[in-house]
Amino acid sequence: MLAAMLLVSCGASKKVATKPVATYIQPGADLLNAPNVLRAWAMGVSDSEMTAKKKAVVSASSQLAQMLNSAVKTTIDDYCVSLSEGEVAKSKEYLSQKTNLVSEQVLTGARPIFDQWEPKDEKGMYRNYVVLELSGEEFIKKLFEAMNDAQASNVKVDEKLLNELFLKAVNAGK
């Protein structure tokens, strides 16, 4: 009985007509890879041009913040590996404080390198495409300025090593 049920349910599969896949590259997506910079692409959709742009900028800014946070965390972790055991905690805390302060300053200065919108579609919606950029070299420069302003700290930082590690983290995966 079970064999009869299995044979009945195993009919020939229907052939599905296949269609070629249309490839569409989103405007601005080709700008994402560049050395020593963090770039984020985003799209905003709304029935208002300004709202679509704001949504795109907020989304790209959020992505940049995540990318910068990841690069900073990797840099601090890699830098602390090179230190002696007694200096790790103090250096990690100091660098975390300074990078948090500088990250907020730099994120507000992210430059739009691409901003394009499409007119209303059949649903009456606008699309805005944005690519925002943060310079890794600018971030590290501001970080060193912040550390020099706070020389009261007795933490010694190898700026050359920190710079190399940060740019390596920024360029990872490109």
Please report whether residue 18 resides in a domain.
no
Please report whether residue 89 resides in a domain.
yes
Please report whether residue 6 resides in a domain.
no
Is the predicted pLDDT of residue 142 greater than 60, yes or no?
Answer: yes
Please report whether residue 13 resides in a domain.
no
pLDDT of residue 172: 87
Place of tokens 């990841």: 70
Please report whether residue 149 resides in a domain.
yes
Parent domain of 72 = 34-171
Please report whether residue 27 resides in a domain.
no
User: How many residues belong to the chain?
Assistant: 174
Please report whether residue 2 resides in a domain.
no
- Average pLDDT of the chain is 83
Is the predicted pLDDT of residue 120 greater than 90, yes or no?
Answer: no
- Per-residue pLDDT of 51-76, as tens digits, reads 999 999 999 999 999 999 999 999 99
pLDDT of residue 2: 47
Which of 15-19, 35-39, 99-103, 116-120 shows the lowest mean pLDDT across its residues?
15-19
> For residues 99 and 143, is the Cβ–Cβ distance under 8 A?
yes
pTM assigned to the model: 0.77
- Model confidence at 132, pLDDT cuts 50, 70, 90, reads very high
Place of tokens 């679509």: 52
- Range from 14-23, 68-77, 97-106 that averages highest in pLDDT: 68-77
Please report whether residue 69 resides in a domain.
yes
Structurally, how many domains does the chain consist of?
Answer: 1
pLDDT of residue 31: 79
- Per-residue pLDDT of 145-170, as tens digits, reads 888 876 656 778 888 999 999 999 99
Residue 42, beta-bridge partner list: 130
Place of tokens 């997506």: 29
